[in-house]
């Protein structure tokens, strides 16, 4: 997760409170991360003494725990409160039962991803996924989040594609066309891609320099531009995820073409065209059950 630089540039109303919020926000971006004090200092831009004081108080108040290895994590009680709060989100309330039913029927994990500014956030998970957890944020950068960009305006799609190296731009544009035509994404399962995804999440969360974040994202260009086309599914192919985008109605009731969330199933195993069709049909059924319209 990237700490909000816009907020940082403004003078906070209460500097001590802002420092606490910044540390908690960083720890919450990856509850399983367990960073060291030095890693927190680098991520949040505080002095070591200030970060230590903030963390000491958070530990005293039971919001954070420090392990015997001197690494920090949000306390289980605090995480429980976060989870209870997340379950009050309108979309989580609407989709939660539907994605759990879909996960049971499909026999694979299913999660809900929601768009938040320039990133997507995993807001609910049914099942266990090694590379994702509730609260995980992924930047909306090419080639990521294709189901969120395919229905954007031409100008916004062009801006997203503009971050792709020129040599790969045409290939990524074809992927976006495929996603838009088919209405879903079918993600290639590859060990290298998942490892690079984890690295990207790590540098994004640590508020690394934009150039470093972009460099990691560029590594995904060669690994993730091959969103399976229908003709690629003539046999069995390794499949990491299948995502069905959903749109939320604007004020006034008419659905917008902007994708604000997606329902994602994670087979994590070889799939054929019939498997993909079955997953897509069940995710669309889940969206209908939750009364959220599928993207056009």
Burial of residue 277, with CB atoms counted within 10 A of its CB: 0-12 exposed, 13-18 middle, 19 or more buried: middle
Contacts for 16 with CB less than 8 Å, ≥ 6 apart: none
| pLDDT band with cut points at 50, 70 and 90 for residue 6 | very low
* 3-class secondary-structure state, position 107: coil
Distance, CA of 54 to CA of 24 (rounded, Å): 10
**Tens-digit pLDDT profile for residues 126-157:** 998 877 778 777 778 777 788 899 888 888 88
Question: Any idea what the Cα angle at residue 243 is, between residues 117 and 239, rounded to 5°?
Answer: 130
**Tens-digit pLDDT profile for residues 180-221:** 888 898 877 555 555 555 555 555 554 555 555 555 555 555
Distance, CA of 84 to CA of 93 (rounded, Å): 11
| pLDDT band with cut points at 50, 70 and 90 for residue 175 | confident
Burial of residue 14, with CB atoms counted within 10 A of its CB: 0-12 exposed, 13-18 middle, 19 or more buried: exposed
The pTM score is 0.64
The residue-averaged pLDDT of 114-125 equals: 85
Q: Is the pLDDT of residue 259 over 90?
A: no
DSSP tag of 269? E
Mean pLDDT over each residue of the chain, to the nearest integer: 78
Query: What ranges in the chain are assigned the alpha helix state H?
Result: 5-9, 15-28, 37-44, 48-60, 76-86, 90-106, 146-149, 154-161, 166-182, 191-205, 210-224, 273-289
72 neighbors 227 (Cβ within 8 angstroms): no
- Please report the domains of the chain, with CATH numbers, ordered by start residue: 5-77 (1.10.10.10), 87-289 (3.30.450.40)
Q: What is each CA distance from 125 to 3, 255, 262, 265, in whole angstroms?
A: 24, 25, 12, 10
Distance, CA of 112 to CA of 96 (rounded, Å): 8
Strand pairing class (110-116; 185-188): unpaired
| pLDDT band with cut points at 50, 70 and 90 for residue 102 | very high
**Tens-digit pLDDT profile for residues 35-78:** 999 999 998 889 999 999 999 999 999 999 998 899 998 888 77
| pLDDT band with cut points at 50, 70 and 90 for residue 236 | confident
- pLDDT for position 5: 33
Maximum average pLDDT range among 26-30, 206-210, 245-249: 26-30
Six token digits for residue 176: 């976006």
Question: Any idea what the Cα angle at residue 246 is, between residues 262 and 119, rounded to 5°?
Answer: 45
């Amino acid at each position: 997760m990237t700490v909000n630089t816009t907020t940082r540039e403004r003078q906070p109303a209460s500097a001590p409170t802002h420092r606490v919020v910044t540390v908690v926000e960083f720890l919450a971006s990856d509850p399983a991360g367990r960073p060291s004090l030095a890693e927190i200092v680098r991520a949040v831009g505080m002095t070591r003494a200030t970060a230590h004081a903030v963390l000491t108080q958070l530990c005293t108040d039971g919001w954070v725990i420090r392990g015997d290895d001197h690494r920090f994590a949000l306390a289980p009680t605090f995480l429980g409160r976060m989870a209870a709060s997340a379950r009050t989100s309108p979309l989580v309330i609407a989709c939660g039962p539907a994605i759990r039913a879909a996960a049971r029927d499909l026999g694979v994990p299913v999660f809900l991803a929601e768009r938040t500014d320039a990133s997507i956030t995993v807001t609910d998970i049914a099942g266990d996924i090694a590379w994702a957890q509730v609260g995980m944020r992924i930047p909306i950068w090419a080639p990521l989040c294709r189901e969120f960009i395919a229905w954007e305006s031409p100008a916004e799609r062009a801006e997203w594609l503009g971050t792709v190296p020129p040599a790969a731009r045409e290939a990524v544009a074809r992927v976006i066309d495929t996603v838009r035509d088919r209405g879903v994404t079918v993600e290639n399962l590859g060990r290298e891609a998942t490892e690079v995804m984890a690295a990207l999440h790590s540098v994004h969360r640590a508020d690394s320099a934009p150039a470093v974040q972009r460099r990691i994202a560029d590594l995904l260009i060669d690994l993730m531009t091959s969103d399976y086309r229908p003709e690629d599914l003539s046999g069995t192919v390794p499949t990491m995820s299948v995502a069905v985008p959903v749109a939320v109605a604007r004020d006034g009731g008419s659905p917008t073409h902007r994708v604000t969330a997606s329902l994602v199933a994670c087979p994590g195993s070889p799939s054929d065209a019939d498997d993909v069709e079955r997953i897509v049909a069940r995710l669309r059924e889940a969206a209908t059950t939750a009364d959220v319209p599928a993207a056009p």
